[in-house]
Amino acid sequence: MIGLSSLPSGRAAAPAPSRRRRQRRALPGFGLTLGLSATYLGVIVLLPIAALLLHAASLSPAEFWAIVSSRRAVATYRITLSSAFYATLFNAGFGLLLAWVLVRYDFTGRRLLDAMIDLPFALPTAVAGIALTALFARNGIFGQWLEPMGIKIAYAQPGIVIAMAFTSLPFVVRTIQPVLEDLEVEIEEAGHMLGATDGQLFARVIWPVLMPSFLAGASLAFARSLGEFGAVVFIAGNLPMRTEITALLTYIRIDEYDYPAAAALATVILLSAFVMLFAVNALQLWQLRYMRRS
Partner 1 sequence: MSAFETIESPTVPSSTRTEAATSPADARHTPRLVGNASVGIEVRNVVKHFDNFAALDGVSLSVAPGELVALLGPSGSGKTTLLRVIAGLEFPDSGDVLFGGRDALSMTARERRVGFVFQQYALFRHMTVAQNVAFGLDVRPRGARPARAEITERVRLLLERVHLQGLEKRYPQQLSGGQRQRVALARALAIDPSVLLLDEPFGALDAKVRKELRRWLRNLHDELGLATLFVTHDQEEALELADRVVVLNKGLIEQDGSPQKVYDSPATAFVAQFIGDTLTLPVQVTDGQAEVLGARFPAAPGTPEGRAVAYIRPHDVSVQPQGTANGVTAEVISITLSGAVLTLRLGIRGLGELDAIVSRQDVQRFDHEKGSIVTVAATQAYIFSD
Partner 2 sequence: MAAIDLTAPRRRVFAGPVAHALLIGLAVTLSVLVIGLPVVAVFGMALSSGASVYMAAILQPATLYAIWLTVLTALIVVPINIGFGIAAAWAITRFTFPGKKLMTTLIEIPFSISPIVAGTAYLFLYGAQGLFGPWLAASGIQIMFTVFAIFLVSLFVTSPFVARELITVMQSQGVEDEEAGVSLGASGYMLFWKVTLPNIKWALLYGAVLCNARVMGEFGAVSVVSGSIRGETNTLPLQIELLFQDQNTAGAFAAASTLTVIALITLFIKLWAERRRDSHERL
- From CA 163, how far away is CA 62, in angstroms rounded? 35
* Residue with smaller CB distance to partner 1, 34 or 74: 34
The residue from 87, 229, 236, 284 that contacts partner 2 (CB under 8 A) is 229
Helix boundaries (H) for 125-258: 125-136, 143-146, 157-167, 170-182, 185-193, 198-201, 207-227, 230-236, 246-255
Sort 217 into a burial class: Cβ within 10 Å, 0-12 / 13-18 / 19+.
Answer: buried
The residue from 202, 209, 237, 291 that contacts partner 2 (CB under 8 A) is 202
Is residue 2 at the binding interface for partner 1, with CB under 8 A as the rule?
A: yes
Number of Cβ within 10 Å of residue 82's Cβ equals: 13
Which part of the chain contacts partner 1 (CB under 8 A), choosing from 20-28, 171-179, 220-228, 262-270?
20-28
| Residues 6+ positions from 83 with CB-CB distance below 8 Å | 157, 160, 161, 164, 225, 245
Which part of the chain contacts partner 2 (CB under 8 A), choosing from 3-11, 30-38, 71-79, 81-89?
30-38
* Residue with smaller CB distance to partner 1, 15 or 195: 15
The residue from 69, 72, 74, 113 that contacts partner 2 (CB under 8 A) is 113
Q: What single letter denotes the amino acid at residue 213?
A: S
Is residue 180 at the binding interface for partner 2, with CB under 8 A as the rule?
A: no
Cα-flanking dihedrals φ and ψ of residue 258, to 5°?
-90, 75
The residue from 254, 286, 290, 291 that contacts partner 2 (CB under 8 A) is 254
Number of Cβ within 10 Å of residue 277's Cβ equals: 13
The one of partner 2, partner 1, none whose footprint includes residue 11, by CB under 5 to 8 A per kind, is: partner 1
| Residues 6+ positions from 290 with CB-CB distance below 8 Å | 209, 212
Least Cβ distance, residue 5 to partner 1 (angstroms): 9
- From CA 265, how far away is CA 64, in angstroms rounded? 9
| Residues 6+ positions from 240 with CB-CB distance below 8 Å | 72, 75
Is residue 32 at the binding interface for partner 1, with CB under 8 A as the rule?
A: no
Is residue 1 at the binding interface for partner 1, with CB under 8 A as the rule?
A: yes
Is residue 57 at the binding interface for partner 2, with CB under 8 A as the rule?
A: no
Is residue 292 at the binding interface for partner 1, with CB under 8 A as the rule?
A: no
* Residue with smaller CB distance to partner 2, 14 or 149: 149
Residue 250 near residue 265, CB atoms below 8 Å: yes
Is residue 145 at the binding interface for partner 2, with CB under 8 A as the rule?
A: no
- From CA 277, how far away is CA 287, in angstroms rounded? 15
* Residue with smaller CB distance to partner 2, 14 or 68: 68
The residue from 109, 148, 150, 195 that contacts partner 2 (CB under 8 A) is 109
* Residue with smaller CB distance to partner 1, 14 or 149: 14
Of 37-56, which residues contact partner 2 (CB under 8 A)?
Answer: 37-38, 40-41, 44-49, 51-52, 54-55
